[in-house]
Structure 1
Amino acid sequence: MSVIQPRNDTLLSRGMLAVMTAQFFSAFGDNALLFVTLAVLKNLTYPDWSQPILQMMFVGTYILLAPFVGQMADSFAKGRVMMFANSLKLIGALLICAGFSPFLGYTLVGIGAAAYSPAKYGILGEITHGDRLVKANGMMEGSTIAAILLGSVAGGILADWHLSVALIVCALTYGIAVVANLLIPRLSAARPGQSWNFRAMFSSFMQACSVLWRSGETRFSLLGTSLFWGAGVTLRFLLVLWVPVALGISDNKTPTTLNAMVAIGIVIGAAAAARLVTLQTVRRCMPAGVLIGVMVVVFALQHSLTNAYLILMVIGALGGFFVVPLNALLQERGKETVGAGNAIAVQNLIENIAMLVMLGLYTLAVKLGVPPVPLGIGFGALFALAISLLWWRGR
């Protein structure tokens, strides 16, 4: 079989469009299925504490599989790895449809997501490279955020209407993603012929962690993206507590729409980064990271819903401008050293550990009775301080 080699021609090539289509429907299915599965838990009268357990099992797959999924992404054609991962997601959704344990089905979706992530980002460095890689990352983030917005809304609406239909729609979206993966040109494996001995793979992964951590540029990228996504998850939960106290609104819709404003802002910021930042000027994104923390402090002091919407959109835009160049930097430098798949797998490990740690600290603060407004102010100030320190050390 002839192998199509990577080309640096256009961001609207067949391969890029197929990747973006697969990513959209895969992320759409992930977010729709989350809300539908939560509705299934309620319908089956599972206790309320089981809902975060569902998310923890999903995140846990990223951490447990991190030593192995990067090598898988680099040992085979990444488009086929993406197809395999989306097939696992499809099977997980079908298991829930068939009445099996939602925890079993959603964990299988998590395994597929963990395998999918290194391949979906790693393939960008094979389809395009250089400055266009930043633009490709912007397209990927834009596609992902659009899928998060639409998938979350669709999942909630469909779950209220008919659970069985909602589950079938989730499965169909994964099926579309699998078909889109078939349209990705077959690229040569980045690092074929590696050992599949688990002990050797774990050792290789730890070596990749060491290589990336010793490099100033990749360590800079890993810390920056991990802080950002850990803060993003924490902010999502903070909004749920903050809205009733600061705005006097006790419905479930307002925190959801406020989260949507952050997502819309990320799309705007990602587009700006694609135009204004290159791999040579990646540190231009750092002021945006510091301003995220400052704007969170400003946000925590608001009592107007309109102001809250606007400030959260600004926070999202700053976030998109901050994280997209750092992702591109890690992919480019990772491809040159440990392989793009291994680099993304290391990134997934550190980001998900950061999420668990920051959520744990947030939960502890809530349990100790810290009010939402001071909690938001402290959270924003600490984030700004952390990014400032990272920026200073990076210089």
Structure 2
Amino acid sequence: MTPDRPLSLLGQRRFGPFFWTQFSGAFNDNLFKNALILLLAYSSAQLAGGLDSNVLINLAAGLFVLPFFLFSATAGQLADKLEKSRLIRIIKLLEIVIMVCAALALMIGNVWLLLGVLFLLGTQSAFFGPVKYGLLPQHLHEQELVAGNGLVEMGTFVAILLGTIGGGLLIALGESGPAWVAGASIGVAVAGYLVSRRIPLTPPVDPALGINWNLFSETVRLIGFMRARRTVFLSIVGISWFWFFGALYLTQFPNYTHLILGGNELVGTLLLATFSIGIGLGSMLCDRLAGQKVEIGLVPFGSIGLSVFAIDLYFAVPSGLEITPELIGPMAFLSEPWAWRVMIDIFGLSLFGGFYIVPLYALVQSRSKKTHLSRIIAGNNILNALAMVIAAVAGALMLGVAGLSIAETFLVVAVLNVVVALYIYQQVPEFLMRFLVWILIHTLYRVKVQGRDRLPEQGPAVLVCNHVSFIDALIIAGSCPVPIRFVMYHRIFQIPVLSFIFRTAKAIPVAPKKEDPEMLDRAMDRVAEELANGQIVCIFPEGGLTPDGELQPFKPGIERIIERSPVPVYPMALRGLWRSFFSRSGGRAFFKLPRGFYRRIDLIVGEPVAPEAVSAADLEARVRRLHDGVDS
């Protein structure tokens, strides 16, 4: 797969059958759920002896979410302990059984049986979630995680949209509607099971795991697993916030359409379709924007766009808009000049929502302990469910108690999104640092990486590269899928603005022995410590920036590092940065007119060198050949 063809994953057995299995499940859940909600809204008197439809609808929503609290802890353990493809098939077989029960409940017309079936569907989804996100890293390479997660998120929201529309259309067929819903639900469940049989074997990551059936103690353990790695935990907080944000918006869409826009149900469907298409497209574009790696720099980019469009949505509808008793349809709605601004805002906030959520899921998958991943995903699902419950309560409080309008509620949540984003980026500066790097290499330059598959996915390892400009480290950091500890001249380390990025990336300042021998010794100790901790370290063995664009002799410091920490060394070469604003070509860097915007930069990665074969002269020759295009 190339960065330009993430859809090629759909044609591969390691991903395609799984994608269509989860697509069918999301479609079926929403087909039945929406059909049931509409049935309760319009036929509750006959089904439940006159019980209030609003009570029943909110009860239905609660019953679908409740299993995530009750069963996620157990589901996460089973997903880590058992072979995942077999577990998926068992879950899909249970879906068929549940849908047969749903058909019987629809035929009988008993509301309590229907609500029970909805609870069972929520249970099935609670068990499928940890398997779904735990399976991806076992079948996809690190550089494919963003594409895979993007496809899953896109497929999920498209399935939600189609299932919601399908459920509404089928239940609206009059007396035969329930029968059509029943038949469609069973048919989709059977199709999902048949597709799931093609999912390849996925070995258990912790087969010796003992199952703790205690819901409360295991949930506490899950939270402990999540908190073990701060970046992972705060990423999960960010994911849960997104579900709070999305749940509150989507819940209010029907009344927003009716009370604020004066539109009918078809206008509401149009807004839902716009939202789903936006988040699907954003999810798909992540792989291209990320450059085929887990790029958390997209998360701040996504949150900025999310906030901008969400805030503008408040101002999009003219104040004092008169709502007539006769609700307008899609064509009349779109004939209003302000309607297109509403559509653009909804599309924009969902598009940037895709940029926001996909890298977070990929980051959790790539940085969690592999033997605990499904349990961490289960903990994430618990927090997501809690966030959606809080969203329902918050919406009720803002609309009912505080007396805010739906538009004002949207504005409050949009402002809160800014606050939450700032908190997360303050706690984990790596997000902001990667965002600044991403902006740099996607506005000033076009970076092409040759031999990306040679880059180590984990340490310990040392990268060596020629040194052309003050931003070499940023180009390399933005092109590699994992964090790198850079060893750099202390005066470069102290450059304003860049200093924030380097410090956040835990770069190691160094000075020549004749300038500061104590700093050199401290740097060597830090390098050894980082390599002992399994990190990847990058050094520039020339010892300084090239004064003429040519490769300078490599200093023997690399031999000293490898002698102390025997790890593989990966030679790399940068091309295209000489004569840039950040190089010494044509005068001092930063003190000349910039030129050559959006120029092509090449980063070429060579084959790793075993520690026993490392020498400064050999590495210099390898980097020179890569730079000159002899090896690539």
Task: Quote the residue 2:425 is aligned against.
Answer: 391
Determine if contact 2:74/2:212 at 8 Å carries over to the other structure.
no
1:137 deviation in Å?
0.6
Counterpart position of 1:264: 277
2:356 corresponds to which residue?
322
The alignment status of 1:360 with 2:393, answered yes or no, reads: yes
> Structure 1 CA distance, aligned partners of 2:39 and 2:257?
26
Q: What is the rounded CA distance, in whole Å, between the counterparts of 2:375 and 2:387 in structure 1? A: 18
Structure 1 residue 255: Cα displacement: 2.3
Q: Which amino acid aligns with 2:185?
A: C
Contact preservation (8 Å) 1:92, 1:104: no
Equivalent residue, structure 1, for 2:287: 274
* 1:253 maps to which of 266, 270, 273: 266
Report the AA paired with residue 376 of structure 1: F
Moved more, 373-382 or 203-212: 203-212
Determine which of 186, 190, 195 is the counterpart of 1:175: 190
- What are the superposed Cα offsets for residues 220-266 of structure 1, whole Å, 9 maximum, x if unpaired? 210111000111010012333333443233x2222232122111001
Higher-RCO chain (CA-CA 8 Å, sequence separation at least 6): 1
| Structure 2 residue aligned with 1:146 | 158
Q: 2:61 corresponds to which residue?
A: 55
Task: State the Cα distance separating 1:79 from its structure 2 match.
Answer: 1.6
Q: Match for 2:300: what amino acid?
A: M
- Once the two structures are overlaid, the 10-residue window that deviates more, 354-363 or 300-309, is 300-309
- What is the distance in 1 between the residues matched to 2:98 and 2:270? 28
How much is the aligned-residue C-alpha RMSD, in angstroms? 1.8
What are structure 1's unaligned runs of at least 5 residues?
A: 1-9
Q: Is the 8 A contact 1:334 1:342 kept in 2?
A: no
1:378 maps to which of 390, 395, 412: 412
After the TM superposition, which residues 181-200 of structure 1 pair with which residues of structure 2 at under 5 Å, given as runs? 181-199=196-214
Contact 1:94 1:171 in 2 (8 A): yes
Aligned to 1:350: 383
Higher helix share: 1
Preserved contact between residue 144 and residue 293 of structure 2 (Cα < 8 Å): no
Determine if contact 2:311/2:415 at 8 Å carries over to the other structure: yes
Structure 2 equivalent of residue 85 of structure 1: 91
Residues 310 and 349, structure 2, Cα contact 8 Å, conserved in 1: yes
Look up the SS of the partner of 2:211 in the other structure.
Answer: coil
1:166 aligned to which of 165, 181, 190 = 181
Name the residue aligned to 1:6. none
| 8 Å CA contact retained: 1:290, 1:385 | no
Q: Pick one of 334, 338, 341 that aligns with 1:307.
A: 341
Q: Tell me the distance in 1 between the aligned counterparts of 2:218 and 2:258.
A: 49
Q: CA deviation at 1:89?
A: 2.4
Matched length: 383
Superposed displacement of residue 119, structure 1: 0.6
Residue of structure 1 in register with 2:454 after alignment: none
The structure with the greater share of residues assigned to strand is 2
**Range 279-288 or range 66-75, more displaced:** 279-288
State the secondary structure of the residue aligned to 1:14. coil
Contact 2:153/2:283 (8 A) holds in 1: yes
**Helix, strand or coil for the counterpart of 2:200?**
coil
Q: SS of 1:281's equivalent?
A: coil
Greater radius of gyration (CA): 2
In 1, distance between residues paired with 2:259 and 2:180? 37
The equivalent residue for 1:21 is 20
**1:107-154 Cα distance to aligned partner (Å, 9 max, x none):** 111111100111111111111131111111111112212211211111
Aligned match for 2:137, one of 125, 133, 142? 125
Amino acid at match of 2:399: V
Q: Is the 8 A contact 2:223 2:379 kept in 1?
A: yes
Of 65, 68, 71 in structure 2, the residue corresponding to residue 65 of structure 1 is: 71
Q: Which residue of 2 aligns with 1:287?
A: 301
Note the 1:200-279 alignment, pairs <5 A: 203-249=217-263, 251-277=264-290
* Identical-pair percentage: 22
Paired amino acid for 2:405: P
Spell out the pairing of 1:3-14 with structure 2 (5 A cutoff).
11=9, 12-14=11-13
**Structure 1 pair 97/245, CA: closer, same or farther in 2 (3 Å)?**
closer
Q: 1:153 to 1:87 in 2, by over 3 A?
A: same
From 110, 114, 117, the counterpart of 2:122 = 110
Give the superposition deviation at 1:335: 4.1
SS at match of 1:282: coil
* Contact 1:243–1:254 under 8 Å retained in 2: yes
